Amino acid sequence: MKASVSEECIGCGVCESTCPEVFEIGDEGIATVIVDEVPDDAVDSAQEASDGCPVSAIALD
CATH code where residue 22 lies: 3.30.70.20
pLDDT tens-digit profile of 4-58? 999 999 999 999 999 999 999 999 999 999 999 999 999 999 999 999 999 999 9
Give the pLDDT of residue 57.
Answer: 98
Question: How many domains does the chain divide into?
Answer: 1
Using DSSP, state whether 52 is helix, strand or coil.
helix
Domain that holds residue 45: 3-60
pTM (predicted TM-score): 0.94
pLDDT grade, residue 2 (50/70/90)? very high
So what's the pLDDT on residue 22? 98
Tell me whether residue 40 is exposed, middle or buried, using C-beta atoms within 10 angstroms of its C-beta: 0 to 12, 13 to 18, 19 or more. exposed
